[in-house]
Chain A
Amino acid sequence: MNPPQEHKKSSVRAVFFILGVLFLLLLLADLLLGSVIVPLKQIFLSVFSSEESNATFRTIVLEFRLPKAITAILTGAALSVSGLQMQTVFRNPLAGPFVLGISAGASLGVALFVLGFSSVFAFGVVTLTGAWPLAIVAWIGSFLVMLLVLYVSTRVNDIMTILILGILFTSAVSAIVSILQYFSNESMLKAFIIWTMGSLGSVTNAQLSVMAPAFILGVFLAFFKIKDLNAFLLGENYARSLGVNIISSRIIIFLSTSLLAGTITAFCGPIGFIGIAVPHICRVIFKTSNHLVLVPAVILTGSIVMLFSDIVSQLPGMQTTLPINSVTAIIGIPIIMWMIIKNKKFASVS
Chain B
Amino acid sequence: MSEQGFNIELDNLSVGYEQSGAKPLEILSGINFSACPGEMVALIGCNGIGKSTLLRSLVGFQDYFSGNIKLNGDELKTVDSREVAQIISFVSTENIRVANMTVFDLVAFGRFPYTNWIGRLTAEDKQKVSEAIKKVGLSGFESRQTIQLSDGERQRAMIARALAQDTPVIILDEPTAFLDVSNKYEIFHLLQILAKEKGKTIILSTHDLNIALREVDKLWIVTETGNFQGAPEDAVLNGWLNQLFNNENVGFDLQEGEYFFKKDFKAKVKVEGEGLSLIWTLRAFNRLGYQIVMKASPDFLVSVNEDLWTYQKEDVKETFGSIYELLMFLEK
Q: Which residues of A contact B (CB under 8 A)?
A: 1-2, 4-5, 224, 226-227, 230-231, 233-235, 237-238, 240-243, 245, 283, 286-290, 292, 345-350
Q: How far is the CB of B101 from chain A (nearest CB, A)?
A: 5
Interface status of B139 (Cβ within 8 A of chain A):
no
Interface status of B109 (Cβ within 8 A of chain A):
yes
Q: Which residues of B contact A245 (CB under 8 A)?
A: 81
In the complex the two chains form, is A1's CB within 8 Å of B123's CB? yes
Interface status of B88 (Cβ within 8 A of chain A):
yes
| A349 to B97 alpha-carbon distance, docked (Å) | 8
Q: Which residues of A contact B145 (CB under 8 A)?
A: 345
User: Quick one: closest B residue to A239, CB to CB?
Assistant: B112
Instruction: Given A227-B117, A243-B112, answer yes or no on A289-B85 (Cβ-Cβ < 8 Å).
Output: no
Contact residues, B54-92 vs A (CB, 8 A): 59-61, 81-86, 88-90, 92
Interface status of B165 (Cβ within 8 A of chain A):
yes
In the complex the two chains form, is B119's CB within 8 Å of A230's CB? yes
| A231 to B142 alpha-carbon distance, docked (Å) | 19
Can you list, as one digit per residue, whether each of B136-178 has a CB less than 8 Å from chain A (1) or not (0)? 0000001101010000000000000000010000000000000
In the complex the two chains form, is B142's CB within 8 Å of A289's CB? no
Q: How far is the CB of B274 from chain A (nearest CB, A)?
A: 54
| A346 to B97 alpha-carbon distance, docked (Å) | 11
Q: Which of B98, B115, B143 contacts A4 (CB 8 A)?
A: B143
Q: A4-B142, A235-B96, A238-B109 are in contact. List 17 more A-B contacts (CB 8 A).
A: A2-B130, A227-B115, A238-B90, A241-B89, A241-B90, A242-B165, A243-B84, A243-B85, A243-B113, A283-B99, A289-B105, A292-B119, A345-B99, A345-B145, A346-B99, A346-B100, A350-B96
Interface status of B314 (Cβ within 8 A of chain A):
no
In the complex the two chains form, is B99's CB within 8 Å of A240's CB? no
Q: Which residues of B contact A235 (CB under 8 A)?
A: 92, 94, 96
Q: How far is the CB of B77 from chain A (nearest CB, A)?
A: 15
Q: How far is the CB of A40 from chain B (nearest CB, A)?
A: 39
Q: How far is the CB of B143 from chain A (nearest CB, A)?
A: 4
Q: Which residues of B contact A243 (CB under 8 A)?
A: 81-86, 112-113
Can you show 25 pairs from A to B with CB atoms below 8 A apart?
A: A2-B104, A4-B143, A226-B118, A230-B109, A235-B96, A237-B90, A237-B94, A240-B81, A241-B88, A242-B85, A242-B113, A243-B81, A243-B83, A243-B86, A243-B113, A286-B100, A288-B100, A290-B105, A345-B147, A346-B100, A349-B98, A349-B99, A350-B97, A350-B98, A350-B99
In the complex the two chains form, is A283's CB within 8 Å of B100's CB? yes
| A240 to B104 alpha-carbon distance, docked (Å) | 20
Can you list, as one digit per residue, whether each of B119-130 has a CB less than 8 Å from chain A (1) or not (0)? 100010010001
User: Quick one: closest A residue to B123, CB to CB?
Assistant: A1
Q: Which residues of A contact B123 (CB under 8 A)?
A: 1
Q: Which residues of B contact A347 (CB under 8 A)?
A: 99
Instruction: Given A231-B109, A241-B59, A241-B85, answer yes or no on A1-B126 (Cβ-Cβ < 8 Å).
Output: yes
Q: Which of B94, B104, B142 contacts A238 (CB 8 A)?
A: B94
| A349 to B146 alpha-carbon distance, docked (Å) | 12
Chain B interface residue count, CB cutoff 8 Å, equals 38
In the complex the two chains form, is B81's CB within 8 Å of A234's CB? no
Q: Which of A231, A234, A289 contacts B99 (CB 8 A)?
A: A289
Instruction: Given A2-B104, A4-B143, A345-B147, answer yes or no on A234-B96 (Cβ-Cβ < 8 Å).
Output: yes
Which 3 A-B residue pairings sit nearest by Cβ, starting from the closest?
A: A243-B85, A4-B143, A241-B90
Q: Which residues of A contact B96 (CB under 8 A)?
A: 234-235, 238, 350
Q: How far is the CB of A235 from chain B (nearest CB, A)?
A: 6
In the complex the two chains form, is A237's CB within 8 Å of B61's CB? yes
| A315 to B98 alpha-carbon distance, docked (Å) | 40
Q: Which residues of A contact B102 (CB under 8 A)?
A: 4
Q: Which residues of A contact B85 (CB under 8 A)?
A: 241-243
Interface centre among A242, A286, A350 (most CB of B within 10 A): A242
| A240 to B94 alpha-carbon distance, docked (Å) | 14
Q: Which residues of B contact A346 (CB under 8 A)?
A: 99-100
Q: Which residues of B contact A224 (CB under 8 A)?
A: 117
User: Quick one: closest A residue to B173, CB to CB?
Assistant: A237
In the complex the two chains form, is A231's CB within 8 Å of B112's CB? yes
Interface centre among B61, B89, B147, B165 (most CB of A within 10 A): B61
| A240 to B85 alpha-carbon distance, docked (Å) | 8
| A350 to B106 alpha-carbon distance, docked (Å) | 13
Q: Which residues of A contact B90 (CB under 8 A)?
A: 237-238, 241
In the complex the two chains form, is B118's CB within 8 Å of A292's CB? yes
In the complex the two chains form, is A237's CB within 8 Å of B99's CB? no
| A224 to B116 alpha-carbon distance, docked (Å) | 12
